[in-house]
Every structure is written in structure tokens, then in C-alpha cells.
Amino acid sequence: MKAIVYQKRGTPEKLILKEVEKPVPGDHEILVKIHATSLNAADYRSMQMGLIPKRKIFGADVAGIVEAVGPKVTLFNDGDAVMGDLSNAGFGGLAQYVTADEKVFVHKPENISFDAAAALPLAGLTALVGLRDRGKLQKGEEFLLVGSAGGVGTYALQLAKFFGARVTAVCSTHNVEQTLKLGADEVIDYNTTDFTTLPGCYDLVLAVNGNRSLRSYYKMLKPGGRYVMVGGSFRQIFQALLLGWLYSFGSRKMTALSFKPLRDDLRFLAQLMHEGYLQAVIEKHYPLDETVAAFKYLRQGHARGKVVIHLPHE
């Protein structure tokens, strides 16, 4: 099968397209013929940190058709349409086929395209866990979303509206219109306005992108407010990891998000997409042999929603 294979330490520019052996499913595994895969920061950040999957194939989010099942598989049959997040299961999505434990996958709802299904898992789960579990977002609360335009941000915005929050979203001028269309109650354009100087006070702040001090976020929290750092600049990430606990002695809590994807959560998100509460924002599609160009685009940090790779099948 064709796959994009990690060759040398460093950046995605070193990835190459290669013929590799098609995998065979183990007892509890399914073999999926992949139709679409979406890229995530987790792919290139793992590469930079030298965290290389065993099969040397990156790609976490996949959607495709089950082609074979292991002898102990009970959840799926040949021909089922599925979607899954492989970030905790050895990656492998940048290939025509992948095998992974059946529990990684859920059925793809019929009315969702393979592209939309591949664009959902990791970014959607990050947004869900950040808002619901870490952020404890409640109906009617004031929510500030810093970085509303990328993969995680577009889902966080839609989920926060689903949970009944009042959403103030921060993005660049270029993405103001999209952010309003996705349901933000208020949008702050970071090109013209420094949101940390505004009087707003929030029950929850989700920092998805950008580079702001922990102190400036702390000052924006109501008593009892929560700050959850999802990603952004290395400075933003390290501050939250190292100093979050210091700021959390009082009623305000500041944490960094890390989580393992759960099947029930992915099923919940797929159901929301099926019912029309969530839509996938996909800015660009690339064929498998242009994966390096796709990563170059994503790494510039201004992709609007998701970047999807199409897998070739005759």
C-alpha cells in the first residue's frame, strides 16, 4: 500500500511517499481502507519531539471502510463505514490502510461525508474535553475562546453554543466573519484589539492558540472561574504547565489540558454532527502525495478549520 513514511528526525519536509506492506488485523483489530485523514498539530509536534510511531506513519484522524476484522472483533463487520482517532493507538492514518483496536473507532453516520468524519476526532475531542470535563462549562456562563478559527477552535465554539454558553471569541480579522457564522455572540479581532485590556470577565477561558501570559488570563476570570490551556505558543503551554497550580490556590483554577480519547465521547460528537449541531470547517484538501505541502500550510498556524488528505484507491 502507499503510505507517507517518516524517514529522518525533524520536520514534515522529510516525509516521503513509499510502498509499504499492507497491515493485517490482530485478534481485536479492524483493517480500515482509509478514504480521508485530517492533519493535526499533534503530528508535527510529535515529529519535532522525536515521538515517532512504531510504524513510522503519522496521521491520527481517519475515516474509511472496514475491509477485514480480527477473529475477536465484535463491534464491526466488513463494509462498515467508520471514523477514529489514532493519536493514542500508534497513528498510521497517512496510508491507504490502517489496523487498530476496534475500540478506537465508531460508526460513521451516513449523512456525514468521509472528509467531515476525518476532520472531527482529535480536534473535536480536544474541544469537548476542554469545555465539558476540564472547563465544567455550564448553561448561561460567560465563555472566552482564544483562537476560534482553527481545528480545535471551530469545534469549541460550536460545542460551547450547544452547551448554552455566551461565547466571546478571539481571532484575526480574516476569520471574524466565519466565527460569527459559527455562532459567536461577540468576536474580538486580535489584529485591532488587545482583548486582555478589555473589561470582560469570564467563567471559563479556553486558550487554544496565541501567546498570552497566565497572569493576563487570571485577571479575566470571575471568582470561581476556570482557565484551560489547550495549545498555542510554547511559552503559553509551559507557563500553564509550570505555573498553573500556583495561580489555583484561590477559587480560580488554571490548568493545562491532556486527555486520552474515549470512544463514547467520539460517538457523542458524531451524533451531534449527524443531528446538525456540529459542522466540520475544512479549508483545504490535498492528495496523499502532497502531504508535505499540506503540513507546510498547517504549520504556518493560520489554517481555517481543518486540512484533509485524500487517500488514493483505484
Ligand X SMILES: NC(=O)c1ccc[n+]([C@@H]2O[C@H](COP(=O)([O-])OP(=O)(O)OC[C@H]3O[C@@H](n4cnc5c(N)ncnc54)[C@H](OP(=O)(O)O)[C@@H]3O)[C@@H](O)[C@H]2O)c1
Per CB under 6 A, residues contacting ligand X are 40-42, 45, 122-123, 126, 146-147, 149-153, 170-172, 174-175, 190, 208-210, 230-232, 257-259, 298, 301-304
Q: Where are the alpha helices (DSSP H) in 182-213?
A: none
Smallest gap from residue 247 Cβ to ligand X (A): 18
Smallest gap from residue 154 Cβ to ligand X (A): 8
**CB of 66 or CB of 131, closer to ligand X:** 131
Backbone angles phi, psi at 298, to 5 degrees: -60, -40
Smallest gap from residue 140 Cβ to ligand X (A): 25
Angle (CA) 270 276 277, round 5°: 80
Smallest gap from residue 21 Cβ to ligand X (A): 30
- The CA distance from 211 to 214, in Å, is 9
C-alpha cell at 213: 501570559
H helix or E strand, kind and range, residue 126: helix 121-128
Terminal-residue alpha carbon distance, the chain: 12
* Residue pair 265/132 in contact by the 8 Å Cβ criterion: no
Backbone angles phi, psi at 190, to 5 degrees: -70, -10
**CB of 270 or CB of 298, closer to ligand X:** 298
**CB of 69 or CB of 256, closer to ligand X:** 256
Smallest gap from residue 17 Cβ to ligand X (A): 23
**CB of 30 or CB of 254, closer to ligand X:** 254
DSSP designation for 249? S
Smallest gap from residue 224 Cβ to ligand X (A): 23
DSSP designation for 11? -
Q: Which long-range contacts (CB under 8 A, 24 or more apart) does 106-109 make?
A: 106/82, 106/263, 106/266, 106/267, 106/270, 107/76, 107/80, 107/81, 107/82, 107/270, 108/63, 108/81, 108/82, 108/83, 108/270, 109/270, 109/271, 109/273, 109/274
Smallest gap from residue 87 Cβ to ligand X (A): 8
Smallest CA-to-CA distance from 228 within 193, 253, 248, 209 is with 253
* Residue pair 153/308 in contact by the 8 Å Cβ criterion: no
Q: Is 177 helix (H, G, I), strand (E, B) or coil?
A: helix
Smallest gap from residue 267 Cβ to ligand X (A): 19
**CB of 69 or CB of 170, closer to ligand X:** 170
**CB of 69 or CB of 273, closer to ligand X:** 273
**CB of 215 or CB of 313, closer to ligand X:** 215
**CB of 173 or CB of 271, closer to ligand X:** 173
DSSP designation for 132? I
